[in-house]
Structure 1
Amino acid sequence: MQSKFSNIRNDYKRHSLRRDNLECLPLLQLKKWLDEAVDVEHTEPTAMTLATVDATGQPSQRVVLLKDISEKGLSFFTNYSSRKGLHIANNPKASVNFFWAMLERQVRLDGVLKKLPAEESDAYFSSRPRESQIGAWASPQSERVNDTGFLNKRYQEFEEKFDGREVPRPPHWGGYILIPHRIEFWQGRPGRMHDRFVYQLEKGGDWDIFRLAP
């Protein structure tokens, strides 16, 4: 029996990607595409799928939100004691994927995750809405809970604990930066003849840029 999904297909025609269109550095190219995703008002343009690996070698992925991009890498924030946090502590190798359907574009990054300095995590935490700050204390992220009543009670307890004063950053919460060594830019094209370009970091610190077959 043929699945109804097998007939779902789109022919990508919006853009093309050529070698002479690319920035010299991959994170500059990523910033350019991110800006364009924001400009077209793409839904959650900074949403990226983060893949990590557990101690048995089993990959796991989830969507996180990019909070900064610099010449060093991509930053996001989370609970260090969460499932992904435990994965990263055991194996810092990770992969990230962006997909902007409106632009028919995808970017894949492979690299290594490192914790951000405490002062950077403090600065970002202080900028979050108060409700989110309290939630970071209240939620034992990725742990089993019986019901939402348990979570609501913990939220109320921390709300009362920090009543009338600033909420400090929990020691189990903070940022990571993905330092990439391989980045692929994918642009959908008609007939599935997609444009694919890879930036591969070489030992000397330069980026080798080359095209892949679709």
Structure 2
Amino acid sequence: MSTVLDRRTRIVDSAIELIATRGLRALTHRALDTALDLPAGSTSYYFRTKRALIEAVVDRIHTRSRDDFASMRRDLNDQVTTANIARWLDRLLAHRRDHLIVRHALLVDLMGDAELRSRLTASLFSLDKARELFAAFGSRTPESDAADFIAVLEGILFDRYAGARMHLPAGTAGSIRQLERILAVHLSGLGERPIRMGLGSR
């Protein structure tokens, strides 16, 4: 069973790399067989259709996000500050750039697929948890403040992995400072009271 799971994981990870480097149109069963040096038909044995492949990619991004956020909460002492949020975003940029690119490509491609889009939309940031965060900050409009903040986070990430500042290297002190400056401006009216982490995907 572990061999089957390992091969499925290899195929899904290869699919993510393929989409990130060559675009969604490059995703085919044959291309994955070639990339992984597998016998022809191997990928289609595990994932019968392109839709099944995409579903597996969505699940992989969602699960990895959930696990990473749980780990980050422990590492950053479970507190929300602009510095800790900046460190979290920098980790995403440094270690999961392919996931960010693929998530964006699929969000655009799956405009008519409410089920998969909802999973992708919530795969990095939880609106419910962000709402709780702003309520704890004392916001009078936690619903709209949470939605606005998630939009800011999405924009910050896009700017760094595909936008005008994609040249800035992640995983550096300068990267974290750049991210923190933007967050500080947006959160300046809320103060810097640390509270329990509550932004990540469920």
Alignment TM-score > 0.5, same fold: no
Q: Which has the larger radius of gyration?
A: 1
TM-score by length of 2: 0.28
Scaled by the length of structure 1, what TM-score is found? 0.27
- Bigger strand share: 1
Of Structure 1 and Structure 2, the greater helix share is in 2
Higher relative contact order (CA 8 A, sep 6+): 2
